[in-house]
Amino acid sequence: MILLSGEVTIELPLAQRVVRSRFSRSYFRTFWSIRLFMGVPNLKFGIVVFPGTWSEKDTHHAVSGVLGQDAEYIWHDDEKIDQYDGIVLPGGFSYGDYLRCGAIARFSPVMEAVTAFAERGGPVIGICNGFQVLCESGLLPGVLMRNDHLEFRCIWTDLKVENDSTMFTSTATKGQTLHIPMSHGEGNYLADETTIERLEGNGQIVFRYADAAGNVTPEINPNGSLNNIAGIVNERGNVMGMMPHPEKACEKLIGGDDGNVIFNSMINNIVASLA
């Protein structure tokens, strides 16, 4: 067991079982070993900021203020991100959501760096608009379209954990529900039938919209997403996109801290992979 600053406990055996076969970051292991030797165990998260991003400060607070890790903002025209252990694309309205949500942001210089980072096995999470950008960039399949009711919804949702063997959910239990808010007008996840079958068959659907008891029904679906999909992961398991906002569920004072399950899972698994 390793204790990091803040409120994070790293359970290495569990994390190693989860990530060893699917997640490798040998590119950074020497750098990490030097940091451990120097007594600086905190991970460093990079939070990408596009013109129109609005949830970067909440994300910074969750990762740094609550969980005690280091976090820095990455401007959209930055092209060097190798110094980070994990990348977060937060929510917002990048470039005003013109053309289509995320359609312009995908051409920002930083996205070439994010793509290269992900291809090396680096962990990337896209939240809300970040999920849309990941889909537009081809890092995740499918697309996020206008909510089927044509309304912007800002509500608390319950997410059923469908896969607890990802690096984003290893501290959760399959079937568990996480109480996390959403805030979007274009969260309707769509993909062709073949893609949906592949996501279902590979266990790449991480979260579904459900009720508090974990029942997945059409009535509880807040935006029309196919199969109640709220979050997916790529085949390699190191890139995840989700529409609800875990950074806005990091403290009981603001309604709940279930979002920390996701960030703590990332921290555990990154540490294990770099040990």
Catalytic pick from 60, 76, 184, 245? Answer: 245
Q: Is 112 a catalytic residue?
A: no
Catalytic pick from 101, 128, 135, 250? Answer: 128
From residue 110, how far is each of 37, 48, 225, 247, 260 by CA, in Å?
Answer: 31, 8, 28, 22, 26
DSSP 4: P
Q: Is 128 a catalytic residue?
A: yes
Q: Kindly tell me the burial class for residue 259, based on how many C-beta atoms sit within 10 Å of its own C-beta (0-12, 13-18, 19 or more).
A: buried
Instruction: Judge contact between 242 and 206, C-beta under 8 A.
Output: yes
How far apart are alpha carbons 185 and 249 in whole angstroms? 20
**Residues designated as active site:** 128, 245, 247
